[in-house]
Structure 1
Amino acid sequence: ASSPRGTNGAPEGLPHCTEVGCLMIDGHCVRTLHAEQNALLQAAVHGVSTQGATVYVTSEPCLHCTKMLLNARITRIVYRDPYVDKLAREMRAEAGIPCEQIEVPIDDRPDRGGFGPSDGEQGDSSAQA
């Protein structure tokens, strides 16, 4: 069985930022869901349990995604790029969730066609639960 995957993107049925532009509030695009959120939602839609799963993400999860991953009973997080969110890191540590950074060769990066699905957009993230 394949694992649920998620990418940064607009909610189902709505145009993506590449089509209509980002909706920015306080320096963040609020039109899109993060890859972690989309991966968890895809798991729910397709009846795939996330309990005890490892999630592989492009960037270290933010605070909101960390809270969702904890409640989804994810037990390990593997990421490529650091995203410094002190509170998210503290929350994961307090919950005892290991978070491991991996090195990915430049040719395997999403903007070069590797490391999971990517639309080639700069800063694109992908997650797999």
Structure 2
Amino acid sequence: AGTNIEGATIYSALLPCMECAKLIVASGIKRVVYTEEYIDKRFNETSRDFLNINGVKVDKV
């Protein structure tokens, strides 16, 4: 079993990587809030686009 996190918000120091983004989508999390991005901007664009396409709101604070 476990805790149902569908519709939850996750807070992270970094924008999630692609592997984490896949897990976030699979878990039903609907919002990601982060403070920093990776130096290599390709990682940022790929995971952010994947999250957005799959209905996850992404906010940098």
Shared fold by TM > 0.5? Answer: yes
1:62 pairs with 2, 10, 17, which one?
Answer: 17
| 1:63 alignment partner AA | M
1:96 pairs with 35, 38, 55, which one?
Answer: 55
Deviations 1:12-41 (CA, angstroms, capped at 9, x unpaired): xxxxxxxxxxxxxxxxxxxxxxxxxxxxxx
Q: Which residue of 2 aligns with 1:73?
A: 28
Unpaired segments ≥5 residues, structure 2: none
Greater RCO (Cα-Cα under 8 Å, separation 6 or more): 2
- Cα shift at 1:74: 0.3
Who wins on radius of gyration, i.e. which is larger?
1
- Taking structure 1 as the reference length, the TM-score comes to 0.41
Give the ranges of 4+ consecutive aligned residues of structure 1 lying more than 2 Å apart after TM superposition.
none
Identity %: 30
- Cα shift at 1:79: 0.4
Secondary structure of the structure 1 residue equivalent to 2:25:
helix
* Structure holding more helix per residue: 2
- Taking structure 2 as the reference length, the TM-score comes to 0.82
When the two chains are superposed, the root-mean-square deviation of aligned CA atoms in Å is 1.4
Deviations 1:37-56 (CA, angstroms, capped at 9, x unpaired): xxxxxxx6xx2111111000
Unpaired segments ≥5 residues, structure 1: 1-43, 103-129
* Structure holding more strand per residue: 2
